[in-house]
């Protein structure tokens, strides 16, 4: 399994394919007109505030072997005490992950077994020891067969956000009893969808490098 180390960057070069979108870059080194048009379209959508690009990683995997991409955040919180009274901590991981297992056919088609999961912290609950995060989780487990270099999109991972806010008139809004007259409450509801855009490419490994993989020259998928 190869999990890429996605590093933030403010630029994206032609030929990079956003899988989730974003400022993170990892060169694909394949200049394809479809990819260039897609990249331009996503950037235009982002500039119009109609969407947000989250990341654009790439990954190389052996035929039949799973590769993973993680774009997660880890939240550490105190979950209890041990027998000596020392604090014990638990790590909560949130964010999108993508597992891909490719199988390359003789006809130039690629069968991809995909497992996608994503989740967010929606609120914190007071456990008496610390603020414990409560999370949501959504998963998609599917298999798809596409041509080499063919683009496909996986969507349907919806999320509803509810936020509450309070605005107050300075000073007056904080006075007991009458302060209620000088503040207002707002409730905002929004719905978003996360989409994964994937384009597999079969790469031929030169025969001279076969010994590196301890097997005959074979194809990989990126």
Q: Mind listing the pLDDT tens digit for each residue in 188-218?
A: 766 777 778 888 888 876 655 433 333 333 3
**pTM of this structure:** 0.58
pLDDT tops 70 at residue 3: no
Domain ranges of the chain: 7-79+88-156+194-221
Residues sharing a CB contact under 8 Å with residue 130, sequence separation 6 or more, in sequence order: 77, 78, 79
5 DSSP 8-state letter = -
pLDDT band at residue 101 under the 50/70/90 scheme:
very high
């Amino acid at each position: 399994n190869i999990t890429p180390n996605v590093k933030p960057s403010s630029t994206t070069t032609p030929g990079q394919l956003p899988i989730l979108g974003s400022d993170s870059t990892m060169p694909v080194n394949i200049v394809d007109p479809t990819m260039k048009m897609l990249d331009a379209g996503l950037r235009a959508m982002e500039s119009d505030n109609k969407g947000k690009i989250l990341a654009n990683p790439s990954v190389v995997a052996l035929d039949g072997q799973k590769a993973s991409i993680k774009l997660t955040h880890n939240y550490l919180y105190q979950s209890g005490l041990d027998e000596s009274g020392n604090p014990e901590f638990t790590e909560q991981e949130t964010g999108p992950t993508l597992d891909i297992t490719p199988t390359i056919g003789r006809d130039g088609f690629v069968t991809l077994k995909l497992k996608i999961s994503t989740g967010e912290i929606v609120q914190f609950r007071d456990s008496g020891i610390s603020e414990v995060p409560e999370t949501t989780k959504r998963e998609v487990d599917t298999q798809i067969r596409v041509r080499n270099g063919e683009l496909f999109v996986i969507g349907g991972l919806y999320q509803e956000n509810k936020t509450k806010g309070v605005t107050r008139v300075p000073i007056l809004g904080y006075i007991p009893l009458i302060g209620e007259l000088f503040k207002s409450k707002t409730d905002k509801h929004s719905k978003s969808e996360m989409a994964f855009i994937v384009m597999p490419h079969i790469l031929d490994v030169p025969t001279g490098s076969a010994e590196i993989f301890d097997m005959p020259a074979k194809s990989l998928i990126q």
